[in-house]
Structure 1
Amino acid sequence: MSDTAQSILETVRRVVGDRDGFVPLHEPEFAGNEAAYVADCIETGWVSSVGAYVDRFEKDLAAFTGVGHAVATMNGTAALHIALLLAGVKPGDEVLMPTLTFVATANATAYAGATPHFVDSESETLAVDPIALERHLAATCEMRGDQCYNRQSDARIGALIVMHAFGHPAKLDELVALCARWHIPLVEDAAESLGSSYKGKHTGQFGLIAALSFNGNKVMTTGGGGAILTNDPVLAKRAKHLTTTARVPHRWNFVHDEIGFNYRLPNLNAALGCAQLERVPEMLARKRVLAQRYEEAFAQLDGLRFLSEPQDASSNYWLCTLLLDRADVVVHEQVLEALNDADLMARPVWTLMHRLTMFANSPRADLACAEDLAARIINIPSSPNLVGPPGSGQ
């Protein structure tokens, strides 16, 4: 084991303390009304995609994020798929997105019949680099009327997806301005950033539309689940229609006026979400304590840094992240091996999208920074229970 791997292992152990057994990367925590609300669904029989908890969850989620409308979906990928359709993405379009993202971003684009067009990230936020993107657009794209086109492929640029990596908000002011200049709809992949804000405003409000995820490893969970966020009431109404198989409301008849999707979140999952959302502020507070402890502990080590929230942003620290000072595949693997061998779950960033077989021929910008980051990023245990149970003060 290298000195770097040994030092990181010892530091993580010191921060998380003595733990029996395996320490997950991020595990769910059920310490509130989860069991009571789920039991209520079972007792009343309202367990599927219609029920009071679905309506309540959407209302509570909109209030928590400050957005005008929230539409609950069966998972975050479904939310992103519908968000792209509502942003106007059509078959044959290209959708700009970071290569440094989870595969759902690219998959949702493919579901819409569009092609991912991969762009680079920057090292402060790990999100889309607005300067590099502007340079790439100027070199490869042109305006035809009020639409942006790729000169090389002749495809329309249907949208830009910005993903807030590990809960750290992207440089949204710059990206919003860039999209306005190039007439490109902005879609926020906010799957990881519930509870994160940029200049005092919750993520998911800067683009035309956004998607959230409530997978079991997120800040809060509904088991599976996601949501569409928008401030546009027309888009919100259409999102609910499309995700409910495009059924025309009627007391008993089943009439569908277009091809829709069976994407609604079941009431059973929404009940879990209502209880979890009640506890999000407290869980976020403990996650920030954990991040602060990591940051202070790793400040003593050379050769790496703890990824802190970007300037002008407040991060949820969904995943706590280390960045090696330089790309070193050998050291990177040694650190991951040492932590996982010690039952401290750690992982690298996802395989970059342009390296996946199904997207290998997709258009791309210069991806030098993302390539470099992929050999430097290490995610370490990030669960709120690592600083004690609710109210413990640990």
Structure 2
Amino acid sequence: MYQDFIDFARKTFSTEEFIPLHAPIFFGNEKKYLNECIDSTFVSSVGKFVDKFESDVAKFTGAKHAIATTNGTAALHIGLLMAGVTKEDEVITQPLTFIATCNAISYIGAHSIFIDVDKETLGLSAEKLEHFLINNTQIINGDCINKLTKRKIKAVVPMHTFGFATKIDDIVSVCNKFNITVVEDAAESLGSYYKGKHTGRYGLVGAFSFNGNKTITTGGGGMLITDDDLIAKKAKHITTTAKIPHKWEYEHDMIAYNYRLPNINAALGCAQMENLPRILDNKNKLAKKYIEFFKEKPINYLQGPKDTKPNYWLNAILLEDLEERNLFLEETNKKGVMTRPIWKLMNTLNMFKYAQTGNLENSQWFEQRVVNIPSSVIL
């Protein structure tokens, strides 16, 4: 079975060489725009490509505003600040996520609480979230207070895992009952939709990543999207060192961050955005090939759940158990076909081992079985 998959991967990607998990692809105006940027000398945080990249992402997602940042973690960090999260507050998220989700929470001095994922979406479970809030919190003076720690729960951060949209409308509905703000970790989901609406647009803000392994890349980069005018204005201000506009004076009115995406990275992003529809179509075709291949195999290929349109950023399969998972990983990587297990649960890492959790049975089940398989664009 493992050799069947290796042979299929080599045939699909038309190579006998090493097959990476997800390689960036450049087949448009990348070099042209980069040369334009260099010739202009505006290669840092000021330039036309930053503004255009923000406009392109806002238009594509349907968001009113987009604020470019140095990376997805920075976008999420600012998003949490916009949600009013402060030191010693608590933020609920899922244990089955990339470390950046929890790092951004920790940057503020806030504490993570881990609630299980949904079996259908691999994203935060609205049902388990509501169960936790009903049984462990109370509303005092409009704030959601954790009965155990006496701290405020200020935000919930669901993550759209591998580009599969979680049941975000249900999560928002639960949070509204408890006066909690939703900040979407949409880092992996550019081009993913839930009930016809792009991910990142259900919460107060949504954060995207344009790292080298994402659907499109700026080398390193991120984006915060929102429909809130005041939030957008403040986010732009706080990501540009809170500098008050002036022709020559250096005046700043608050502690802020140097998180503005450089123009040279944005130039790459503008070229990538022009080909995003083609990239997404290509990735959808690759997913269909995997669906057809695994249909007759004793391995479950993960597909988009009902009411979603995934971007299929990273294709994923479910092995029978931990032993099978490890055998598959060992054999494929030994033969030059890169595969990777899903992340270790955040609550098992030393930094978060004392965090409060709910019942994490689904997350633990996935941790032992999920493997990502090659997902690069094929032209």
> TM-score of the superposition, structure 1-length normalised?
0.94
> Structure 2 counterpart of 1:369, which letter?
N
Where does the alignment leave 5 or more consecutive residues of structure 2 unmatched? none
Q: Which amino acid in 1 is paired with 2:365?
A: D
Corresponding residue of 2:324: 331
Aligned: 1:207 with 2:200: no
1:171 aligns with 2:167: yes
User: Are the counterparts in 1 of residues 182 and 205 from structure 2 also a CA contact under 8 Å?
Assistant: yes
The aligned counterpart of 1:100 is: 96
Instruction: Tell me which residue corresponds to 1:21.
Output: 17
The partner residue of 1:321 within 316, 323, 331 is 316
1:59 to partner: Cα distance: 0.8
* Partner amino acid, structure 2, of 1:322: I
SS in 2 for 1:340: helix
Amino acid at match of 2:314: L
Residue 18 of structure 1: how far off its partner (Å): 3.7
The answer to whether the 8 Å contact 1:11/1:298 transfers is no
| SS at 1:67 equivalent | coil
1:363 partnered with 2:356 = yes
The sequence identity of aligned pairs, in percent, is 47
Alignment of 1:1-394 (within 5 A): 5-14=2-11, 16-302=12-298, 304-324=299-319, 326=320, 328-385=321-378, 389=379
CA contact (8 A) 1:9 1:335 kept: no
Give the C-alpha shift of residue 10 in structure 1.
Answer: 4.4
Aligned-pair CA distance for 1:182:
1.2
How many aligned residue pairs are there? 379
Instruction: Identify if the C-alpha distance between structure 1 residues 17 and 229 changes in structure 2 by more than 3 Å, giving closer, same or farther.
Output: closer
Q: Deviations over 1:97-156 (max 9, x none)?
A: 000000000000001110111110022110001111111222211111321111001111
1:27–1:17 CA distance, 2 compared to 1 (3 A): closer
Residues in 1 aligned to 2:353 and 2:6: alpha-carbon distance in whole angstroms: 35
How far does residue 242 in structure 1 lie from its aligned partner after superposition? Answer: 0.2
Q: CA deviation at 1:292?
A: 0.5
What is the rounded CA distance, in whole Å, between the counterparts of 1:127 and 1:17 in structure 2?
Answer: 29
Contact 2:212 2:220 in 1 (8 A): yes
Q: 1 CA distance for matches of 2:149 and 2:4?
A: 49
SS at match of 1:188: strand
**Aligned mates of 1:372, 1:6 — CA distance in 2:** 25
Q: For 1:76 and 1:113, how far apart are their aligned partners in 2?
A: 19
Aligned 8 A contact 1:167 1:193 in 2: yes
Q: What is the CA distance between 1:9 and its match in structure 2?
A: 3.5
| CA shift in 2, pair 1:100/1:282, >3 Å | same
Question: Residue by residue, what CA displacement relative to the aligned partner does 1:290-338 show, whole Å, maximum 9, x if unpaired?
Answer: 0011011101012x211111100100000000012x4x22111000111
Q: Which amino acid aligns with 1:312?
A: D
How far has the Cα of 1:71 moved from its partner? 0.3
Aligned 8 A contact 1:100 1:352 in 2: yes
- CA offsets 1:162-187 (integer angstroms, 9 cap, x no match): 10000000001211110111111000
Q: Which amino acid aligns with 2:332?
A: L
Equivalent residues of 1:101, 1:350 under 8 A apart: yes
Aligned equivalents of 2:365 and 2:4: distance in 1? Answer: 22
Q: Is the 8 A contact 2:83 2:155 kept in 1?
A: yes
Cα deviation 1:169-214 (Å, max 9, x = unaligned)? 0001211110111111000000000000111111111000110000
Against the structure 1 CA distance between its residues 7 and 375, is the aligned structure 2 distance closer, same or farther, given a 3 Å change threshold?
A: farther
Shift of 1:250: 0.7
* Structure 2 CA distance for partners of 1:207 and 1:69, relative to 1, 3 Å: same
Residue 392 of structure 1: aligned partner: none
Letter in 2 for 1:340: N
Deviation at 1:12, TM superposition (A): 3.7
- Runs (4+) off by over 6 Å: none
2:10–2:16 contact (8 Å) kept in structure 1: no
Unaligned runs of 5+ in 1: 390-394
RMSD: 1.1
Contact 1:8 1:335 (C-alpha < 8 Å) held by counterparts: no
Query: Counterpart of 1:313 in structure 2: which amino acid?
Result: T
